[in-house]
Amino acid sequence: MPTIYLASSSPRRRELLEQIGLPYTIVTVDVDESLLPGLSPIEQVVALSQRKARAAATIYSEGIVIAADTVVVLDGQVLGKPANEAEALTMLERLQGNVHEVLTGITLLELAGDRVFSDFECTEVQMRDVSRDELMRYITTKEPFDKAGAYGVQGLAAVFVAGIRGCYFNVVGLPLFKLTQMLKEFNVDVSSYWR
């Protein structure tokens, strides 16, 4: 079986790969994650996942790289990671009571043959109406600061989510069903790693 490299520093993506029993090696890549002008949110996440995969491909010569990028989109506007408490509060206030989309772009890159396969997943999330006091208490936990849209569905903010339409794991940061289907394009069956 090929070595799988995860081009991500996200602890959530690591946990998701461990959950499905897929062994991997972390590759730390330093890429510019700023938004690319003129691209739709879907094109943004796919392009950034490709950028991460290509950066990892300069380090190793064999195996398969998995790279992903996740954003929150509300009314066509991308909400990234908040830089401070004020940004986190603004994002969370905009999301509360509304439906937003979580988009993840995924790129798999086969190092030996330089074969690349990219796709994306979209999940709709309904946030309940949340009081300002609750939002402020959430922000003081520091949980929002490394997360797109200033919240983590797998953490304390789970109590803000009224419903999800689509892949839950996509909201966490890596759509597992989509990923396993993409890996099959490279003749990798995740269940073959189970012992």
Domain, as residue range, for 158: 4-193
30, burial (CB in 10 Å: exposed 0-12, middle 13-18, buried 19+): exposed
- At residue 42, φ and ψ (nearest 5 deg) are -65, -45
Q: What is the pLDDT of residues 39-55, one digit of tens each?
A: 999 999 999 999 999 99
Residue positions annotated with a catalytic role: 69
Pairing of strands 25-26, 4-6: parallel
pLDDT at 143: 94
Q: Three-class SS of residue 6? A: strand
pLDDT at 146: 87
Nearest by Cα to 20 from 156, 172, 152: 172
Report the CATH number that the domain containing residue 124 is assigned in CATH.
3.90.950.10
Q: How confident is the model at residue 99 (pLDDT cuts 50, 70, 90)?
A: very high
Contact predicate 119/96, CB 8 Å: no
Please state, in angstroms and as integers, the Cα–Cα distance from residue 51 to each residue in 104, 175, 179, following that order.
14, 19, 18
Contact predicate 166/122, CB 8 Å: yes
pTM value is 0.92
Q: How confident is the model at residue 33 (pLDDT cuts 50, 70, 90)?
A: confident
Count structural domains, the chain.
1
In this prediction, residues 93-117 reach a mean pLDDT of: 94
Cβ density class 130-166: b for 16+ within 10 Å, e for less: beeebbeebbeeebbeebbbbbbbbeebeebbeeeee
Say what percent of the chain tops pLDDT 70. Answer: 100
Q: What is the pLDDT of residues 175-186, one digit of tens each?
A: 999 999 999 999
pLDDT at 186: 93
Say what percent of the chain tops pLDDT 90. Answer: 84
Q: How confident is the model at residue 87 (pLDDT cuts 50, 70, 90)?
A: very high
* Per-residue pLDDT at 154 exceeds 90: yes
Q: What is the pLDDT of residues 114-134, one digit of tens each?
A: 799 999 999 999 999 999 999
Contact predicate 15/187, CB 8 Å: no
Please state, in angstroms and as integers, the Cα–Cα distance from residue 121 to each residue in 52, 67, 107, 174, following that order.
17, 13, 12, 9
Contact predicate 66/24, CB 8 Å: yes
